[in-house]
Amino acid sequence: MNVVAVVVTHNRLNLLKECIHALLHQTHQIASIIVVNNESTDGTTEWLGTQAEAVTTIFSENKGGTWGFYTGIKVAAQLNSNWIWIMDDDTIPSNNALEQMLVATPNLNAFGFLASKVVWTDNSIHKMNVQHHSHKHSLYNQYLRQNIALIEHSSFVSLLVNKKAIEQVGLPIKEFFIWKDDTEFTKRIIKAGWLAGLVNNSVVLHKTAANYTVDLFDDVSTNSWKYFYGIRNDLFVRKSVKGRGSYVRNILKNFTLVPLKIVVKRKSARWPFVKSVVKGTWATFSFKPSIEFL
């Protein structure tokens, strides 16, 4: 089973070193490791230059994490790979994380993707990477007995994707820049008829500074710009998955109720978040990216 790993990095050299070390010491050997270097300026470029035997580096203009994943997956799919293992540079897999996904079920090729259990430094579930179980799926209980929970979507933090699924549904939408790119991509795979599973025996550490999730009403002011992309991309996904009615209702809510809630709930930096919500909602009217296929 040939697996190619794709890691996207930007100015987090120490974490990247941990990630690559963990990939090189997997109990199931990885065929190739591709690192997409999004214009790092912290010594990452120089360090990667010393890792040429172990790592293939792609130098990319920093157009966001999504563009990095799009670029890396596109290159990985051209190699002799059956599966592509996707992650950020702050993902540190346990040494058998890959093996546990590959041996999780004899019906592996029915899955479009498998995801690891993502924990934080204290071994609690990482709030950013909680997967929603697909309890109503007719096969849910059958796979739960194999310790696989069927899920509705997943993040790019340790996502093992079947190359045949990518060939069918296309690549991540590079114009998303950040946020919701993984949700859109994994929901698209499931919509095409593939199974999607969380393998609880496969564990990775998401080594963020804190165990947090996206919170419009409590996030720090320096992150306000990210919500432009989050709001715009969420509306795009909502329209494609839940239909025009949900899309229109949430546009109206974002122009009225959400700004009011920001004013009431936030203790500071209200205007930057209101501006991001309104601008992100407005941007959805002209945001019409296309899906690129291999």
Could you give the number of structural domains in the chain? 2
Same domain, 139 and 252: no
Same domain, 183 and 225: no
What CATH code is carried by the domain that includes residue 67? Answer: 3.90.550.60
- Residue 59: the pLDDT is 95
Structural domain includes residue 229: yes
Structural domain includes residue 293: no
Same domain, 133 and 42: yes
Structural domain includes residue 8: yes
Question: With 0-12 CB in 10 A as exposed, 13-18 as middle and 19+ as buried, what is 63?
Answer: middle
- Could you tell me the CA-to-CA distances from 275 to 33, 145, 154, 193 in Å, in that order? 40, 47, 28, 38
pLDDT by residue for the chain (294 residues), tens only, comes to: 899 999 999 999 999 999 999 999 999 999 999 999 999 999 999 999 999 999 999 999 999 999 999 999 999 999 989 999 999 999 999 999 999 999 999 999 999 999 999 999 999 999 999 999 999 999 999 999 999 999 999 999 999 999 999 999 999 999 999 999 999 999 999 999 999 999 999 999 999 999 999 999 999 999 999 999 999 999 999 999 999 999 999 999 999 999 999 999 999 999 999 999 999 999 999 999 999 999
Maximum distance among all alpha carbons in the chain?
55
pTM over 0.75: yes
Residues sharing a CB contact under 8 Å with residue 33, sequence separation 6 or more, in sequence order: 4, 5, 7, 20, 23, 24, 54, 55, 56
Structural domain includes residue 294: no
> Would you give the DSSP letter of residue 194?
-
Structural domain includes residue 79: yes
Structural domain includes residue 179: yes
Structural domain includes residue 212: no
Same domain, 43 and 154: yes
Owner of token pair 């050299």: 13
Tell which of 144, 173, 206 closes a domain: 206
Range of the domain at 8: 3-206
Cβ 37 vs Cβ 59: under 8 Å: yes
Same domain, 143 and 275: no
Q: Cα(199)–Cα(218) distance, rounded to whole angstroms?
A: 31
Same domain, 69 and 43: yes
